[in-house]
Amino acid sequence: MGLEMEEMAASIGVSVPVLRFLLCFAATIPTGLLWRAVPGATGRHLYAGLTGAALSCLSFGATSNLLFVAPMALGYLAMLLFRRHAGLITFLGAFGFLIACHAYYMSGDAWKEGGIDATGALMVLTLKVISCAINYSDGILKEEGLREAQKKYRLTKLPSLIEYFGYCLCCGSHFAGPVYEMKDYLDWTERKGIWASSTPSPLLPTLRAIVQAGICMGLYLYLSPKFPLSWFSEPLYYEWGFWHRLFYQYMSGFTARWKYYFIWSISEAAIIISGLGFTGWSESSPPKAKWDRAKNVDVLGVELAGSAVQLPLMWNIQVSTWLRYYVYERLIQKGKKPGFLQLLGTQTVSAIWHVSYIFPLTSFVFSLW
């Protein structure tokens, strides 16, 4: 089995740990489909959490779930013991733990050797436990003066441990997002709200996401040998002229993006096929089903953006929404208009969440224009 994995990994140009992650990641699609057949809300909560924990164990190793226990426990204890300040406590504690994990794993050689770790999944979990705690804190506030998002997602009742477990580790979004709200998760699992009546078939939108994922992976596999990032450290690169280097910089970035498009397309397929991706019906005639909750990137929107200002609205869409609801809007003082400080605070949180990634820094620069 080990030899077969090595041969398969070599055939697509990745390491064995990355291949194992991709296989587990692809398994979230049939796992999401099977969720629909699980009887009872409690059964579905347990299924969501246990399948996420199992796939995480297979992908990242047996100790990966211990990494997730810390922010999950912090968030739940904060809600249980310090409801009024649960959001702030969880925000500071979960982000502090995420930064420590980033620093620890980046100090090693795992990524340099083609390995992979659970910090990507931890990034998603961090946002989920924070939003849950903040919404539970909002549950004791009067509705007058609350923003629409606060009214919509506030939690008046503490989620049970089983509900919280399923929400945090639900396998469809556990690996790479998208981030979603506890209230939506509860309605979906308990078949309330827009899920109370029969929902439209997810087959066609799921197939569309899978086809998109296949195209993205195909383009990445075709282009990555032609424009590897490793060439930036080669002496030949510095012998090229300005325009040649500029073209190569653009193409290497263009190539790398298709990897992310693939990952987010698989996540989209898993969320849609489970039913959680359903967001209601359009106002068109006849009405069409919408599956926006699962959408994390607009591929054409990114590649054909008219200006760099539009990019943050098309890339990592659900994280951008989270930042708007839980950072930007909450930094605005009542009676005052948002300004530079709110934007600076939001982009600072985004940069801390990503830590080593360059995109938030460029987003910050472009957002100032």
From 305, 351, 350, select the one nearest 326 (Cα to Cα): 350
The alpha carbon dihedral of 216, 222, 225, 231 has a sign of negative
Number of Cβ atoms within 10 Å of the Cβ of 296: 24
Q: Which CA distances in Å does 99 have to 120, 351, 353?
A: 12, 11, 8
Distances (CA, A) of 326 to 53, 133, 272: 27, 11, 25
Q: Among residues 45, 174, 244, 354, which one is catalytic?
A: 354
Structure tokens of 306?
């008219």
Active site residue 85: no
Cis (ω within 30 of 0) for the bond into 178? yes
- What is the secondary structure of 287-348 as a DSSP string? --EE-GGG--B-HHHHHT-SSGGGHHHHBSHHHHHHHIIIIIGGGSPTTS---HHHHHHHHH
Residues tagged active-site: 354
